[in-house]
């Protein structure tokens, strides 16, 4: 049924009552910096600060312990005056599942901060917080974050959770990882000058910090020996068994596949406490209708399916995905809206597939940031441009100059290169914009959480004490109250409509009200099972009632909230 018909005939919504006022903090709220990334301890402090400042609105709980025993923080943000969280549509937001992808946490913290600060000041935020709840896990991989900050680390390492794995299958675990050869707290690269003809590289003629691959008719005198490290276990290989490797974003439950199908899967689905804590917690939150996971890098808004073999996304759900994803492309400059398996690579057991398939929540994975180092705008970044960015814009902060030292296996080598926070994380002066834009994307997504309201109610007498009631439920927003996937795959119960105060003789769904086409429910008419209300659409319910006077129609949607409307049979 078309929405337009109802919009023109009815007042849609009850008023929200008193205008929202800005929140008054019970204690000074935290003031996290958004021009740098913060450590696990600092982030813990911010979260505790929000809980202390807004005790009625913010609940901070530890939903489990990481492998090394750190708390898995989950922050619930809910306006208590408009009902408990479980009675409202909700959005789940997480970050930093990969140890090195740290600024996802800042995007989560920014979202929390912005919501609390803006309630009562910006109508759009007030409207959202009056009707929806939020769940935040800013640090999915607390040990990984702690380890990446403490170093030595690189832009890409560590990515894992801290579970020891025998990567080289020699019977020992994590026995040959990176070594900070020059003790500067950063793992950079090793290079070595070799007799002419033995290397694949030569020094850049104008900038000896840069190595250039030799042309087909050139001899080289440099080799690149990989990240700093030596052969710790004497097996003739360097850095082949570093910490981990279990990729926590391959450990989720939906269509998990083992190590031989994809590296980093771990022993079995949700075998690690980090993702298992979240998955078990989420089973108790059927109201989650939207989810977002922050990663880096590459400026992407990803959606599933993670693998070609997974079922395609049904049409009704794609409408919501595309609306939100395409808006994201407009508000996040340079970002592309992509399908994981088709446009990136195959993943099994990823967060977005799990939340969509197991919970029926519309879920995106954002890959934050891409270094703006293509200075001449030709579509590619050269080493020279990268060095110019370092020299001119960061005044040399990013690059650690080559330094000579003796290596136990390679002899005299040089160690140097870019710092760990270069390449995947914005410089401080760019971080706040990146986090704000991504927070805005989350709030746009949340804006489209299902928003249900009763529309027109039509009552008609059909006999002695027998009434025909038709009542419409409208979903104003883009996310269906039951995703088409959830209803096809039966992953959770659909919406339920009941009537109190009269006997329900028959019930059903109105297919076409003008032509009186009603699909009756064969059994149990007093509990009308409604396959949800699609995004920006309506659904008309039919009841044949025996009784008189005032009755209450209730609509109970796991993800769309609960409605009640009094109707008089006359």
In order of 69, 83, 111, 413, the CA distances from 45 in angstroms are 17, 28, 16, 43
Stretch that binds other proteins, among 11-19, 192-200, 305-313, 403-411 (CB under 8 A): 305-313
Kindly state whether residue 554 participates in binding other proteins, applying the rule CB under 8 A.
no
* Dist. CA 169–CA 135, nearest whole Å: 40
Least distance CB 360 / other proteins (angstroms)? 10
Least distance CB 229 / other proteins (angstroms)? 18
Q: Which of 494, 531, 546, 562 binds other proteins (CB under 8 A)?
A: 494
Least distance CB 88 / other proteins (angstroms)? 18
Least distance CB 140 / other proteins (angstroms)? 17
Q: Is 388 buried (19+), middle (13-18) or exposed (0-12) by CB count in 10 A?
A: middle
Kindly state whether residue 216 participates in binding other proteins, applying the rule CB under 8 A.
no
Which CB, 31 or 522, lies closer to other proteins? 522
* Dist. CA 472–CA 540, nearest whole Å: 4
Which CB, 94 or 255, lies closer to other proteins? 255
DSSP annotation of 175: -
Stretch that binds other proteins, among 7-15, 81-89, 190-198, 518-526 (CB under 8 A): 518-526
Kindly state whether residue 357 participates in binding other proteins, applying the rule CB under 8 A.
yes
Kindly state whether residue 278 participates in binding other proteins, applying the rule CB under 8 A.
no
Least distance CB 241 / other proteins (angstroms)? 13
Least distance CB 511 / other proteins (angstroms)? 20
Which CB, 58 or 140, lies closer to other proteins? 140
* Dist. CA 396–CA 409, nearest whole Å: 31
Kindly state whether residue 271 participates in binding other proteins, applying the rule CB under 8 A.
yes
The crossing angle, in degrees rounded to 10, of helices 428-447 and 103-118 is 60
Least distance CB 366 / other proteins (angstroms)? 23
* Dist. CA 185–CA 319, nearest whole Å: 48
Q: What are phi and psi of 8, to 5 degrees?
A: -75, -20
* Dist. CA 104–CA 81, nearest whole Å: 30
Are the C-beta atoms of 116 and 109 separated by less than 8 Å? Answer: no
Kindly state whether residue 505 participates in binding other proteins, applying the rule CB under 8 A.
no
Kindly state whether residue 492 participates in binding other proteins, applying the rule CB under 8 A.
yes
Contact letters (x/-) for other proteins, 227-266, by CB under 8 A?
-------xxx---------------xxxxxxxxxxxx---
Total of residues contacting other proteins (CB under 8 A): 46
3-class DSSP assignment, residue 403: strand
Which CB, 39 or 346, lies closer to other proteins? 346
Kindly state whether residue 524 participates in binding other proteins, applying the rule CB under 8 A.
yes
Kindly state whether residue 409 participates in binding other proteins, applying the rule CB under 8 A.
no
Over the range 97-121, which residues count as b (16 or more CB within 10 Å of their CB) and which as e? Answer: bbbbbbbbbbbbbbbbbbbbebbee
**C-alpha torsion 200→204→209→210, nearest 10:** -60
Stretch that binds other proteins, among 64-72, 162-170, 217-225, 458-466 (CB under 8 A): 162-170
Are the C-beta atoms of 432 and 34 separated by less than 8 Å? Answer: yes
In order of 144, 170, 173, 410, the CA distances from 237 in angstroms are 25, 12, 15, 12
Least distance CB 381 / other proteins (angstroms)? 22
* Dist. CA 86–CA 288, nearest whole Å: 9
Least distance CB 359 / other proteins (angstroms)? 9
3-class DSSP assignment, residue 454: strand
Kindly state whether residue 507 participates in binding other proteins, applying the rule CB under 8 A.
no
Per DSSP, which regions of 5-104 are E strands?
Answer: 58-65, 71-77, 90-95
- Sign of the CA dihedral 313, 319, 325, 326? positive
Which CB, 78 or 557, lies closer to other proteins? 557
* Dist. CA 193–CA 299, nearest whole Å: 37
- Restricted to residues 418-437, the positions that interact with other proteins (CB under 8 A) are none
Which CB, 343 or 516, lies closer to other proteins? 343
Which CB, 3 or 87, lies closer to other proteins? 87
What radius of gyration do the chain's Cα atoms show?
28
Which CB, 234 or 401, lies closer to other proteins? 234
Which CB, 120 or 286, lies closer to other proteins? 286
Chain residues binding other proteins by CB under 8 A are 166, 169-171, 234-236, 252-263, 267-271, 279, 283, 307-309, 341, 345-346, 357-358, 489-494, 496, 522-524, 527, 529
């Amino acid at each position: 049924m078309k929405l337009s018909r109802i919009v023109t005939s009815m007042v849609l919504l009850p008023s929200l009552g008193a205008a929202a006022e800005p929140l008054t903090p019970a204690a000074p709220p935290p003031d996290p910096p958004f021009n740098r990334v913060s450590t696990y301890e600092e982030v813990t402090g911010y979260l505790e600060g929000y809980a202390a400042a807004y005790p009625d609105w913010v609940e901070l709980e530890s939903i489990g312990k990481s492998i090394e025993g750190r708390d898995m923080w989950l922050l619930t943000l809910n306006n208590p005056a408009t009902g408990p969280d479980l009675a409202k549509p909700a959005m789940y937001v997480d970050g930093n599942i990969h140890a090195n992808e740290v600024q996802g946490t800042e995007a989560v913290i920014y979202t929390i901060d912005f919501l609390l600060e803006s309630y009562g000041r910006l109508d759009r935020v007030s409207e959202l917080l009056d009707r929806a709840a939020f769940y935040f896990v800013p640090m999915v991989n607390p040990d990984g974050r702690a380890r990446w900050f403490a170093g030595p680390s690189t832009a890409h390492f560590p990515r894992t959770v801290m579970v020891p794995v025998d990567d080289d299958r020699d019977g020992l675990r994590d026995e040959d990882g990176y070594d900070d050869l020059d003790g500067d707290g950063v793992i950079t690269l090793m290079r070595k000058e070799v007799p002419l003809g033995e290397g694949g590289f030569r020094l850049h003629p104008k900038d000896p910090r840069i190595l250039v691959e030799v042309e087909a008719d050139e001899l080289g005198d440099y080799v690149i020996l990989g990240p700093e490290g030596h052969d710790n276990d004497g097996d003739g290989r360097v850095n082949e068994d570093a910490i981990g490797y279990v990729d926590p974003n391959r450990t989720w439950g939906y269509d998990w596949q083992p190590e031989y199908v994809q590296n980093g899967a771990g022993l079995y689905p949700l075998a690690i406490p980090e993702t298992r804590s979240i998955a078990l917690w989420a089973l108790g939150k059927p109201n989650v209708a939207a989810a977002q996971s922050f990663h880096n890098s590459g400026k992407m808004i990803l959606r599933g399916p993670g693998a070609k073999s997974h079922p395609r996304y049904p049409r009704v759900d794609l409408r919501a995905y595309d609306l939100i994803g395409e808006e994201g492309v407009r508000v996040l400059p340079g970002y592309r809206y992509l399908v994981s398996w088709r446009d990136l690579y195959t993943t099994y057991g990823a967060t977005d597939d799990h939340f969509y398939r197991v919970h029926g929540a519309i879920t995106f994975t954002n890959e934050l940031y891409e270094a703006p180092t293509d200075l001449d705008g030709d579509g590619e970044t050269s080493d020279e441009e990268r060095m110019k960015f370092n020299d001119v814009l960061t005044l040399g902060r990013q690059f650690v100059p080559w330094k000579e030292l003796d290596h136990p296996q390679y002899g005299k080598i040089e160690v140097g290169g870019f710092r760990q926070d270069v390449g995947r994380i914005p410089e401080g002066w760019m971080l706040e914009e990146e986090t704000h834009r991504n927070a805005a994307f989350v709030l746009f997504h949340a804006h489209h959480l299902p928003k249900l309201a009763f529309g027109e109610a039509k009552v008609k007498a059909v006999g002695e004490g027998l009434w025909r009631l038709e009542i419409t439920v409208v979903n104003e927003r883009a996310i269906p109250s039951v995703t088409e996937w959830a209803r096809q795959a039966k992953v959770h119960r659909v919406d339920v409509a009941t009537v109190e105060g009269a006997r329900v003789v028959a019930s059903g769904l109105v297919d076409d009200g003008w032509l009186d086409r009603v699909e009756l429910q064969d059994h149990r008419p007093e509990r009308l099972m409604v396959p949800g209300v699609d995004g920006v659409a309506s659904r008309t319910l039919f009841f044949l009632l025996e009784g008189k006077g005032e009755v209450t129609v209730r609509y109970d949607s796991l993800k769309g909230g609960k409605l009640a409307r009094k109707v008089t049979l006359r």
